[in-house]
Chain A
Amino acid sequence: MLSVDVMKTVGDFAIQAKFDVPSGATVLFGPSGSGKTSIINMIAGLMTPDRGRILCRGRLIFDSGARIDLPPYHRAFGYVFQDGRLFPHMTVAKNLDYGRKHHRLPYDRAAHERIVDMLDIGHLTQRRPGTLSGGERQRVAIGRALLMNPQLLLLDEPLASLDAARKREILPYLIRLRDASGIPMIYVTHHVAEVRRIATVVVRLEAGRVLGVGAPETIAASTDDLEG
């Protein structure tokens, strides 16, 4: 489904990552500084690899050899950031509708209601992001990324800024999403518990390199949480 082969040097840190993953939930797992966020940003188009190729669902989105580099707004990958990044000057409703509007998709009432119900954010639509709790904000951010009908959903430590209770609040939504939506997910984390609950495939990263790709059980049993 997703094939990544990228090289990128930032200062004296070099990333050289190559992996192929099927649909489902792929977790990029590694300690801080392993290049997880850089890799997900290269997939999103927010960071340009020095060299390489990225192929998603048969579509070439980046190829340095062929000089192909789709801008992020043409990739149609939903991105849920660690810090939500809701637009502070818009209501929750406007935030949710932003991706659909800019992708010029028709309004699909049924899909809208299904996602809003699944994330339980229907009562928040007239509020401003500044008045939401951390958990509410992250749920709206997930909804905003889903409502643009993404080809792929990227999640960069979506639970990291939340306390334990909020994490327990959000995780079930993500699992339901994985099972019900059929949208492939790339999920960055350094927490073993999240790997266990969410992953169908794990890509283990360290110091900018891929250590291995495998089933979540292969690391979950023997590993502790990695340093943030």
Chain B
Amino acid sequence: MTMPAFELSPDEWTAVLLSLRVALVATLASLPFGIAVAWLLARGNFWGKTLLDGLVHLPLVLPPVVTGYLLLIAFGRKGAVGAFLAEQLGVVLAFRWTGAALASAVMAFPLMVRAIRLSIEAIDRRLEQAATTLGASRGAVFRSITLPLALPGIIAGMVLAFAKALGEFGATITFVSNIPGETQTLSAAIYTLTQVPGGDAAALRLVVLAIVISLAALVLSEWLARRAARRLHGV
């Protein structure tokens, strides 16, 4: 292997950029839901809370291929939700990159919710009480106290979810298959390359890149979390 071997081919670039896009969209689109569910689980006291908790954590324990198959049943073109989305909103998820984003978002959701929930549970509720005596309604307390104080956990949850979404394989390939340029993410591309003769060098390049991206995400999250913590307690 010579140095130019590290230049990615256009197809490899496509897979890398697609993966980043899928993981980014999955993380950002699921964030509002992640915060809402984390808040409900941390603060709510309602019938069915245990059920919601179980449902959120299900993708963590189910075989990913099962999750992918369930998504295919529900969100496929003929699935209950999928047919509705396609007819009413013109949104098709099956065998599209958006479907890959949905699959990774579902798989990453438990990690995101757990991190955010822990940070909300750690907030001193007496600060929220103080805010209500100062005229802040429940919504205002949430925006001005709860959310900023939970920020380190929200960042941690986003990075965990991003990393998980980036590496998601089983549910994605089951739900949206492995179509180059549309649904072939980094992981699927590596898998495909290991199945063809002479694909080793390309697979290795993508593996190195996957490691670099993951490390960069970790470093970034560490830096963001420190910055947020400094802002919270800080000087």
Q: Interface on A for B, CB 8 Å cutoff?
A: 44-46, 71-73, 75-79, 81, 83, 85, 87-89, 98-99, 102-103, 128, 130-131, 144-145, 148, 154
A99 to B135, CA, bound (A): 6
Contact for B235 among A85, A98, A128, CB less than 8 A = A128
A91 to chain B, nearest CB (A): 10
Q: 5 new A-B pairs (CB below 8 Å) besides A87-B131, A154-B133? A: A71-B132, A71-B137, A81-B126, A88-B149, A89-B232
Q: A81-B126, A87-B127, A89-B149 are in contact. Are A73 and B132 (CB under 8 A)?
A: yes
Whether A79 pairs with B130 at a CB distance below 8 angstroms is: yes
Whether A144 pairs with B126 at a CB distance below 8 angstroms is: no
Residue B148 lies at the interface, judged by CB distance under 8 Å to chain A? yes
A79 to B132, CA, bound (A): 10
Q: Interface on B for A, CB 8 Å cutoff?
A: 126-127, 129-137, 140, 144-145, 148-149, 231-235
Q: A89-B232, A130-B233 are in contact. Are A46 and B129 (CB under 8 A)?
A: yes
Contact for A130 among B129, B130, B134, B234, CB less than 8 A = B234
Among all A-B residue pairs, the 9 with the closest Cβ atoms: A102-B135, A99-B134, A103-B135, A85-B130, A79-B133, A72-B132, A102-B136, A89-B232, A89-B148
Whether A144 pairs with B233 at a CB distance below 8 angstroms is: no
Chain A CB within 10 Å, residue with most, of B135, B144, B149, B233: B135
A97 to chain B, nearest CB (A): 10
Whether B234 pairs with A148 at a CB distance below 8 angstroms is: no
Whether A130 pairs with B135 at a CB distance below 8 angstroms is: no
A139 to chain B, nearest CB (A): 16
B228 to chain A, nearest CB (A): 9
Q: What are 14 contact pairs spanning A and B, CB under 8 A?
A: A72-B129, A72-B132, A72-B133, A73-B136, A81-B130, A85-B127, A85-B130, A88-B127, A89-B231, A99-B135, A102-B137, A130-B234, A145-B133, A145-B134
